[in-house]
Structure 1
């Protein structure tokens, strides 16, 4: 039962992020609405309204067919055009930014609802059209249902204008970066909120004699059903340690975790464990905050490429990364999960601050090392983090080493004396803060 529930949870998360989720639900709603309208028409709805609201009731069969045919043709055209625009937006986003942002664009609920409205009205109209002059109706024509189809068509036209505005906004890099930043920040805040352990239990101390578990599958481990895995560990009375953080790539036959003692039914344990784990290719920031860092960094690198040449976008990406790194400082590099009895059962490492800093900023530093604007922005990122690093002294060395790499590249790539002087002035400001253990080296400026 637990395995079924875990599979259902993972499938649910996948389905709700699909581009067809809301269109399917809305289409079903309009199909049911059409059936209800036909039911009330059979009870004489149009006849009851005919005397008092004649303008709402269609009584001519040729007019009814013309109206419904026009609605059907128009909605199909709107739907095709809208889907075409979505595909063009996704293609442009993949070419200009990074392919990893596509799942986020697809999951925009507003666009899905508009497309669902088109499909739903189309299905409603088709169902009503089939019942024109059916012998089942005393009035022969479902007049009010046809009038409702006309009203829904006007609503579709209004939402088409909204869709054009929405799709033009969603393709802008500012909107994409802000969306990724918001999702990543929320996920990071969730991790910080749950990261309440000051230290690790002693049971996780020495792992040299622990028993290795080999992966039976190849793929990225994106998520796991924590409650089910905790219960599995409690039933076998073992402590589970993941060698790699979530989001890592597992290879079949290679150890991925270890337990504090041997398990008699090891194959069954691993089979159940992988049943509670989620493997898929999409990198979604709402599942793992590391993906949000990567998407923003990749957008910055793409903007710095010669084909795009958009340093303004790179600067905005660095600003968002500054805010995210300031939050990441509050998170420890490991996480411990406890079962319902309060026993520590699972530990897995977060991506360390140093690894995340290097993974995210090294490509930006490499592609932007010859631009004084990018170098100054990266130094400003460092300055912002130095204002917040005092409660986390273990990060001082990391920030110093990364700053050294940035200075080394800037010293070799930036030759203009004026630009070098600006960078030197920023470095002097950083040294005056007296936060780092050692002063940063200054660039030499020729007279």
Structure 2
């Protein structure tokens, strides 16, 4: 039962984030509405409205067919044009920013609802059209249903204007970065709320006869059903320690986790466990906040490439990373899950702050080391973190090390005396804060 529920959860997550989720739901609603309207027409709905609101009811069969055929043709054109625009936007986003932002763009619910409205109106109109004066449908002309199709068409035209505006906004890098930042901030906040603080339970550091679990396939360990895995560990009375963080790339046959004892029915345990693990390729910040850092970093690096040459976008990305790093400082490097009796059962390794900081800023520093604007912004990021690092003294060496690497690149790449002086002003401000263990070196300025 747990296996079925977990598979349903994974399938639900995949379906909800697909581009066809809302269009399918809305189309099914319009299909049901069309059948309901035909039933009500058979009960004399149009005859009732013809007496009170005659201008709403179409009584001429040729006019009805002409209207419905025109609606069908127009909606098909709108749908084709809209889907074409979506594909063009995705292609442009992949070329100008990073291909990994595409799943986020596809999952925009507003655009899915517009496309669903188009498809639903088309389905409704086609069903009504085939029942106009049909041999098997000997009731009077479904005038009110035809009028309703016209109303849906007017709504589609209005939403088409909205769709043009929405798609033009969603392709802007500011909108993409803000969307990634918002989702990443939300997921990181959730992880902090669940964090039990520093310290690892003794059960994970004790000298057990650990037995390693090897990956059954090659792919990304994106997520798992935590509650179901926790219940599985309780059932077999084992403690599980993940040596690779969620989001890591696993190789078939390579160990990635371990349990504190060897079980007699080990094959059964492995089979049940891997049924609760989800391997897939998409990197969504809504699944793992690490992907949000990665997407923002890649967008900044892409903006700094010679083909794009957009330092303004890189600066925005650095600003978003600044706030996310301040938030990440509150999270410990381990995540421990406890059973209902309060016993520690599962430990996950978070990506350490040091590794995350280096993986995010090193590419930006590499591609932007020749720009004083980017280097000054990175120093401003460091200054912001130093205001918060007093509460987390173990992170001071990390910040000090990365600052020295940044100044080393600046000394090698920045030759303009004025730019070097600006960098020195920032370095002096950092040293005056007296937070780092050793003062940062200043760049030599030739007069």
Question: Shared fold by TM > 0.5?
Answer: yes
Query: Helix, strand or coil for the counterpart of 1:213?
Result: strand
Give a deviation string over 1:262-316, Cα, whole Å, max 9, x none: 1111111111111111111000000000000000000000000000000000000
Does structure 1 retain, via aligned residues, the 8 Å contact 2:216–2:252?
Answer: yes
Partner of 1:289 in structure 2?
289
Give a deviation string over 1:214-254, Cα, whole Å, max 9, x none: 12211101001011101111111110001100000111111
Which structure 2 residues correspond to residues 105-254 of structure 1 after superposition, within 5 A? 105-135=105-135, 139-206=139-206, 209-254=209-254
Counterpart Cα distance in 1 of 2:330 and 2:202? 23
Which structure 2 residues correspond to residues 47-446 of structure 1 after superposition, within 5 A? 47-135=47-135, 139-206=139-206, 209-446=209-446
**Structure 1, unaligned runs of 5 or more:** none
Quote how far apart the aligned CAs of 1:340 are.
1.6
Counterpart Cα distance in 2 of 1:380 and 1:292? 21
Counterpart Cα distance in 1 of 2:442 and 2:210? 48
Quote how far apart the aligned CAs of 1:136 are.
5.6
Quote how far apart the aligned CAs of 1:196 are.
2.0
Counterpart Cα distance in 2 of 1:279 and 1:272? 15
Counterpart Cα distance in 1 of 2:243 and 2:380? 35
Quote how far apart the aligned CAs of 1:135 are.
4.8
Counterpart Cα distance in 1 of 2:44 and 2:138? 7
Query: 404-413 vs 191-200, which deviates more?
Result: 191-200
Quote how far apart the aligned CAs of 1:140 are.
2.5
Query: Helix, strand or coil for the counterpart of 1:390?
Result: helix
Does structure 2 retain, via aligned residues, the 8 Å contact 1:134–1:140?
Answer: no
| TM-score, length of structure 1 as denominator length | 0.99
2:33 counterpart of 1:33: yes
Counterpart Cα distance in 1 of 2:405 and 2:333? 23
Counterpart Cα distance in 2 of 1:154 and 1:294? 43
Quote how far apart the aligned CAs of 1:198 are.
3.5
Counterpart Cα distance in 2 of 1:338 and 1:246? 18
Quote how far apart the aligned CAs of 1:209 are.
3.9
Counterpart Cα distance in 1 of 2:251 and 2:364? 29
Counterpart Cα distance in 2 of 1:351 and 1:147? 59
Does structure 1 retain, via aligned residues, the 8 Å contact 2:98–2:302?
Answer: yes
Does structure 1 retain, via aligned residues, the 8 Å contact 2:322–2:381?
Answer: yes
Give a deviation string over 1:125-144, Cα, whole Å, max 9, x none: 00000100135656521000
Counterpart Cα distance in 1 of 2:9 and 2:292? 22
Quote how far apart the aligned CAs of 1:211 are.
1.4
Counterpart Cα distance in 1 of 2:397 and 2:375? 20
Does structure 2 retain, via aligned residues, the 8 Å contact 1:41–1:137?
Answer: no
Does structure 1 retain, via aligned residues, the 8 Å contact 2:369–2:410?
Answer: yes
Counterpart Cα distance in 2 of 1:207 and 1:69? 76
Does structure 2 retain, via aligned residues, the 8 Å contact 1:371–1:414?
Answer: yes
Counterpart Cα distance in 2 of 1:421 and 1:266? 64
Report the number of matched residues. 447
Query: 136-145 vs 407-416, which deviates more?
Result: 136-145
Partner of 2:21 in structure 1?
21
Quote how far apart the aligned CAs of 1:208 are.
7.0
Query: Helix, strand or coil for the counterpart of 1:221?
Result: strand
Query: Helix, strand or coil for the counterpart of 1:51?
Result: helix
RMSD over aligned CA atoms reads 1.0
Does structure 1 retain, via aligned residues, the 8 Å contact 2:208–2:260?
Answer: no
Does structure 2 retain, via aligned residues, the 8 Å contact 1:98–1:302?
Answer: yes
Counterpart Cα distance in 2 of 1:120 and 1:268? 47
- Flag as ranges the 4+ runs of structure 1 deviating above 4 A: 135-139
Query: Helix, strand or coil for the counterpart of 1:389?
Result: helix
Counterpart Cα distance in 2 of 1:268 and 1:427? 59
| TM-score, length of structure 2 as denominator length | 0.99
Counterpart Cα distance in 2 of 1:178 and 1:82? 24
